[in-house]
Amino acid sequence: MAGRQLLMTFPVTANSHTLAEYRARGGYTVLENTLHHHTPRDVTQAVADAGLQGRGGAAFPTGRKWSVVVPGDGQPHYLIANADEGEPGTFKDRWILEQAPHLLLEGMLLSAYAIEARNCFIYIRGEFDLPYRRVAAAVEEAYAAGWLGDGIGGTGFGCDIVVYRGAGAYVAGEASGLISSLEGKKSYPRNRPPRLTVRGLYQRPTVVNNVESLSNVTGIVAHGAAAFRAVGTEKSPGTRLFSVSGHVNRPGVYEVELGFPWRKFIDEDCGGVLGGKPLKAVVPGGISSKVMTAAEVETLRLSHEDLWSAGSTLGSGGMIVVAEGTCMVRLLQIMLRFYHHESCGQCTPCRDGTGWMHRILDRIVAGEGRPEDIERLYYIAKYNDGTTICGLGDAAGYAASGMLDKFRDEFEFWIAHKHSRCQGRIECPIS
Amino acid sequence: MKDLIPEFEALRARFPPGFASSLVLPCLRRIQEERGYVADSDIDGLVAHIGVPRIQIEEVLSFYTQFRRRPIGRWHLQVCRNVSCSMRGAETLLEHLQRKLRIAPEETTPDGRCTLSAVECLGSCGTAPAMMVNDRYVENLTIAALDELLEELE
């Protein structure tokens, strides 16, 4: 086990996701106690003191996000759980949605109490079927048991949750794009300022938090900020859920105490590289985070500060393990096809840049690469960065420049020899 | 669509006042569940029922990948071909399916049985390779499992 755990604290069984079992584990007692004995301000303070960083990808301090919402300003506030999990390589929120939906709901209720939101939403990606059914059933259970609706726990606090299904758009996972989608429109991201906590859903103050972030709130309120800070590192308190995939013996969702040695996690918890092959690289947190080489994985710990200092990020926690012998040119081709497909088309640098980069990679793979292509890719990546409304275009550039920084020789080889140095191989054979 | 109006009204009641526009996505999803796609008459009906501009509905239908404007096969096979699935054999699976069904992605078999799509990340990377068969996820696919599955789809 990769250090201490805060979320995966119970054995998963056929019924462990139900209200009855959640109650048997002490569920909703933190909410009840808080509503009776603590103020909304106490909850916000605990989350701020705990130093909880957003688990969706940006690691923005949750408490600081909440503190922008002004209590008692006479307008409705909204809380949205971002369950639009779509960053390639990421499936960790799916674990919470499927196995611990009431942990999310209790965390949302505490958060809604803190920011004085009567109406909450769970925006869940349209493809997720079982996660939707589990969450929708949990919401119905919570209403029936009086944990949602009016007068929760015999107090004056009321809260409603609507489960809202997306319809297939990566960019809807971006907080402002999500809000556009929840307003029944195409999920175009919006320029900020104003921040969403000032003008969000239907122009009202809105907090959008990742599912895992919200699921941590219950534990923080229950045991206090100090207990949360006692886990993890000083700059990365707590744990993170990592979804591990690719060339690895035991793919799946793991909870890791932040600061845990990266290589040890892959070798011991995840069973090492598939087929006992040497490790070539790891994409740390979804394909929008820059790829790290095996040598870097060897020295780094899984903490925000470690990855940031190495020029990457823990991102969404979507870790993709790459075995020696894999063609990085083909991997980047797939990544760029993805960004090209998902660019919403609103901003020119992203709309044109993602397509341009994708076409260059297709050309290289077709044996028609040109020596200037590598500098061209860097150039496009540079002018995508920070020139668009949301981060999708930036991310496409990070994926490209990350691969080129670390594996430039493979791109030069394909351009010069018109074929891959690794036979274009990306898959482990399936039976 | 008219048959669904009571359902749409129940849905509206779950939202706060002033959220009518939010009904566009869930209503379209529900219409598509019933009809298999969204017809012109559905758009007319929804414009009248929700009171949003027609262009908003047209934009939504063309923006999101899950919405369809015309019928497809009885079974919609959506094979993920993003990074993690490709690393576990998705490209081989997709080629196998194309050969076996004798169609390319985005085509339907002449008997109307299967429509094939190559899609991006389904969030099923730990159980790769994965695909969706209509609304259901099928994971940890192999060629043998795929062949067996095709036998079952009528």
Residue A320: its H or E element: strand A318-323
pLDDT tens-digit map of A133-171: 999 999 999 999 999 999 999 999 999 999 999 999 999
Claim to verify: residue A388 and residue A246 sit in the same structural domain: no
Contacting residues of B for A88, CB less than 8 Å apart:
82-84, 120-121, 125
B131-133/B136-138 β-pairing: antiparallel
A397 vs A28, A283, A353, CA distance in Å? 44, 15, 9
Q: Supply angle C-alpha A418, A424, A427, rounded to 5.
A: 175
Report the residue from A126, A167, A338 with minimal CB separation from B120: A338
Quote the DSSP letter at residue B103.
-
Query: Does A430 sit within 8 Å of B125, measured CB to CB?
Result: no
Instruction: Assess if residue A148 is contained within a domain.
Output: yes
Q: Supply angle C-alpha A209, A23, A140, rounded to 5.
A: 60
Sign of the torsion formed by the C-alpha atoms of A150, A152, A156 and A162: negative
CATH number for A282? 3.10.20.600
What does B107-145 look like in DSSP terms, one character per residue?
-B-TTS-EEEEEES--S-GGG-S-EEETTEEE-S--HHH
Report the residue from A129, A182, A246 with minimal CB separation from B135: A129
Quote the DSSP letter at residue A159.
B
Claim to verify: residue A317 and residue A371 sit in the same structural domain: no
What does A53-64 look like in DSSP terms, one character per residue?
B-TTTT--BHHH
Among B residues 78-107, those touching chain A with beta carbons less than 8 Å apart:
81-84, 86-93
For chain B, helix, strand, coil in percent to 5 are 50, 10, 35
Which residues contact residue B121 at a Cβ distance below 8 angstroms, ignoring those fewer than 6 apart? A86, A87, A88, A89, A90, A170, A338, B80, B82, B83, B84, B85
pLDDT value of position B154: 83
Mean pLDDT within A308-327: 97
What domains are defined for chain B?
Answer: 2-63 (1.10.10), 75-152 (3.40.30.10)
Claim to verify: residue A64 and residue A205 sit in the same structural domain: yes
Mean pLDDT within A185-195: 97
B117 to chain A, any CB pair closer than 8 A? The answer is no
pLDDT value of position A1: 82
Claim to verify: residue A202 and residue A295 sit in the same structural domain: no
Mean pLDDT within B28-33: 97
pLDDT tens-digit map of A205-224: 999 999 999 999 999 999 99
Reply yes or no on whether the pLDDT at A5 is more than 50. Answer: yes
Instruction: Assess if residue A153 is contained within a domain.
Output: yes
Q: Which domain holds residue A343?
A: 328-417
pLDDT value of position B1: 82
Instruction: Assess if residue A69 is contained within a domain.
Output: yes
Q: Which two tokens stand for residue A104?
A: 């999310």
Measuring CA to CA, which residue among A345, A344, A334 is closest to residue A400?
A334
Domain tally for chain A? Answer: 3
Q: Final residue of a domain: which of A323, A351, A384? A: A323
Reply yes or no on whether the pLDDT at A430 is more than 60. Answer: no
Instruction: Assess if residue A3 is contained within a domain.
Output: no
Reply yes or no on whether the pLDDT at A429 is more than 70. Answer: no
Residues A183 and A202 sit within 8 Å (Cβ to Cβ): yes
Which alpha helices (DSSP H) does A120-230 contain, by range?
A: 130-144, 175-182, 211-223, 225-229
Of the CA atoms within 13 Å of residue B88, those in its CB half-sphere come to: 30
CB pairs under 8 A between A and B: 163
Claim to verify: residue A178 and residue A297 sit in the same structural domain: no
Claim to verify: residue A342 and residue A318 sit in the same structural domain: no
Instruction: Assess if residue A424 is contained within a domain.
Output: no
Claim to verify: residue A25 and residue A169 sit in the same structural domain: yes
Measuring CA to CA, which residue among A427, A396, A285, A264 is closest to residue B94?
A427
Instruction: Assess if residue A154 is contained within a domain.
Output: yes
Among B14, B76, B84, most A C-beta atoms within 10 A, so best to mutate, is B84
Which residues contact residue A321 at a Cβ distance below 8 angstroms, ignoring those fewer than 6 apart? A244, A245, A246, A247, A248, A266, A270, A273, A274, A279, A282
Claim to verify: residue A253 and residue A165 sit in the same structural domain: no
A240 vs A232, A260, A298, B28, B46, CA distance in Å? 9, 11, 19, 36, 43
Confidence band of A427 (pLDDT split at 50, 70, 90): confident
Claim to verify: residue A113 and residue A148 sit in the same structural domain: yes
Selected residue with higher pLDDT from A427 and A381: A381
Contacting residues of B for A427, CB less than 8 Å apart:
86-92
pLDDT tens-digit map of A396-422: 999 999 999 999 999 999 999 999 999
Confidence band of A431 (pLDDT split at 50, 70, 90): very low
pLDDT value of position B2: 86
Claim to verify: residue A89 and residue A210 sit in the same structural domain: yes
Confidence band of A184 (pLDDT split at 50, 70, 90): very high
Measuring CA to CA, which residue among A234, A235, A251 is closest to residue A243?
A251
Claim to verify: residue A185 and residue A280 sit in the same structural domain: no
pLDDT tens-digit map of A239-284: 999 999 999 999 999 999 999 999 999 999 999 999 899 999 999 9
Q: Does residue A11 have a cis bond before it (omega within 30 degrees)?
A: no
Q: Final residue of a domain: which of A182, A206, A229? A: A229
For chain A, helix, strand, coil in percent to 5 are 45, 15, 40
Quote the DSSP letter at residue A285.
S
Mean pLDDT within B44-73: 97
Backbone angles phi, psi at A80, to 5 degrees: -125, 130
Among A97, A125, A127, most B C-beta atoms within 10 A, so best to mutate, is A127
pLDDT value of position A13: 97
Mean pLDDT within A63-72: 96
How does the average pLDDT of chain A come out, rounded? 97
Claim to verify: residue A152 and residue A222 sit in the same structural domain: yes
Of the CA atoms within 13 Å of residue A410, those in its CB half-sphere come to: 24
Residues A242 and A92 sit within 8 Å (Cβ to Cβ): yes
Query: Does B60 sit within 8 Å of A185, measured CB to CB?
Result: yes
* Closest Cα in chain B, distance from residue A60 (Å): 23
Q: How many CB atoms lie within 10 A of CB A328?
A: 24
Residues A8 and A255 sit within 8 Å (Cβ to Cβ): yes
Q: Which residue of A has its CA nearest to B55?
A: A185
B123 to chain A, any CB pair closer than 8 A? The answer is yes
Measuring CA to CA, which residue among A92, A113, A97 is closest to residue A47?
A113
B130 to chain A, any CB pair closer than 8 A? The answer is no
Residues A195 and A206 sit within 8 Å (Cβ to Cβ): no
B121 to chain A, any CB pair closer than 8 A? The answer is yes
Contacting residues of B for A129, CB less than 8 Å apart:
135-137
Q: Final residue of a domain: which of A273, A304, A323? A: A323
A279-283/A318-323 β-pairing: antiparallel
